[in-house]
Amino acid sequence: MDIVLGTHQYGKAEVRLVHVVRDGERHRLTDLTVSVALAGDLADTHLTGDNTKVLPTDSQKNTVYAFARRHGIGEIEEFGLRLARHFVDSQPVITRAIVHLQQHAWNRVGGHSFTRSAAETRTATVTVDGPDTVVVSGLTGMVLMNTTGSEFFGFVRDEYTTLPEAHDRILATAVDGRWRHASSESDDWAASFAEARRHLVEAFVDTYSLSLQQTLYAMGQRVLEHRPEITEVRMSLPNKHHFLVDLTPFGLDNPNEVFYAADRPYGLIEGAVRRDDAPRWEESWWNL
């Protein structure tokens, strides 16, 4: 029986970077977590411990900081592109670089004062793989709720089913969504992100939902209909269940007003919505 080395990569995970642009008395703050993963002709370090082709992960971390000082940040897609292209162009054995970025939101409360926001986290993943460059933008932790306009009925019943049908329920989720761009070149990454986010939210609001699966499709469909630069949208939507509390032991009715918000277990709905002519989205571009 032969034993061989399978797919492998290595890198520096979760580099914390805070960048301040000191424009007079009004500063600009960017707070990032950056992860790098490199792949290429690196079998020797696994098979024999030969590190002559290995760029230390500490050097990768230092590159993140040096590029922030030398080039600034800009939009996170731009920063990720600069880093990924640098690693592939500067290291002869590296054929693929994946840079994943999370941007943590702060709200301005003064010229140089900020408060950490509870809003969702903006994300970007840039992959340079040989001649191909892929940019995936997204967000995570965007909590949405409709207090009506949602039903769930007509589902399969077996001997273990106890769930009653619901004809007026709360629908809540925390969106983890990512979307692939048709091109790695853009005139305005910020506007593209803002508009994609807006259409996700508006589709959630406007859809009378018979299932969270239906809502996921409607959200992705709306983004693709309005944003031609995006070719595929992938989402992971936990169903943040809200159960009606039985108040009859206290002599009270409950006309859909008092709920118990359960944190677990929860249903998890995941799916992709894509243009039918979109190129295949490799899993390595989806998960770091």
- Please identify which of the residues 100, 181, 199, 241 carries the catalytic annotation: 241
pLDDT for 94 beyond 80: yes
Q: What pLDDT is stored for residue 23 in this prediction?
A: 87
Beta strands 106-108 and 267-274: pairing type? unpaired
pLDDT in tens, 62-76: 999 999 999 999 999
Amino acid at 75: E
pLDDT in tens, 222-240: 999 999 999 999 999 999 9
Q: What pLDDT is stored for residue 143 in this prediction?
A: 97
Q: What pLDDT is stored for residue 285 in this prediction?
A: 44
> Does 127 qualify as catalytic in the annotation?
no
Q: What pLDDT is stored for residue 283 in this prediction?
A: 55
Alpha-carbon span 187 to 46, nearest angstrom: 42
Alpha carbon dihedral 11, 17, 23, 26, in 10-degree steps, equals 150
DSSP state of 152: B
Alpha-carbon span 220 to 74, nearest angstrom: 27
pLDDT for 278 beyond 90: no
Question: How many CB atoms sit inside 10 A of residue 133's CB?
Answer: 18
- Please identify which of the residues 12, 100, 181, 240 carries the catalytic annotation: 12
Q: What pLDDT is stored for residue 286 in this prediction?
A: 45
Average pLDDT over residues 174-196: 97
Given a contact cutoff of 8 angstroms between Cβ atoms, the answer to whether 171 and 215 are in contact is yes
Mean pLDDT rounded to a whole number for the chain: 95
Q: What pLDDT is stored for residue 282 in this prediction?
A: 63
Q: What pLDDT is stored for residue 37 in this prediction?
A: 97
Weakest mean pLDDT among 22-31, 135-144, 170-179, 206-215: 22-31
In 3D space, the residue among 81, 79, 183 whose CA is nearest the CA of residue 127 turns out to be: 81
Given a contact cutoff of 8 angstroms between Cβ atoms, the answer to whether 19 and 74 are in contact is no
pLDDT for 137 beyond 60: yes
> Does 12 qualify as catalytic in the annotation?
yes
Which residue has tokens 């950056």? 34
pLDDT for 255 beyond 80: yes
Alpha-carbon span 283 to 208, nearest angstrom: 32
In the numeric block, which tokens belong to residue 49? 């411990």
> Does 86 qualify as catalytic in the annotation?
no
Please tell me the CATH code under which domain 1-129 is placed: 3.10.270.10
How many percent of the chain have pLDDT more than 90? 94
Does the domain made of 131-288 have the CATH classification 3.40.30.10? no
Contacts (Cβ under 8 Å, ≥6 apart) of 48? none
Beta strands 94-104 and 121-129: pairing type? antiparallel
In the numeric block, which tokens belong to residue 27? 């500063």
Given a contact cutoff of 8 angstroms between Cβ atoms, the answer to whether 108 and 98 are in contact is no
Fold agreement between 1-129 and 131-288:
yes
- Please identify which of the residues 57, 104, 140, 226 carries the catalytic annotation: 57
Residue spans per domain, the chain: 1-129, 131-288
Q: For residue 177, how far is the Cα from the chain centroid? A: 5
pLDDT for 120 beyond 90: yes
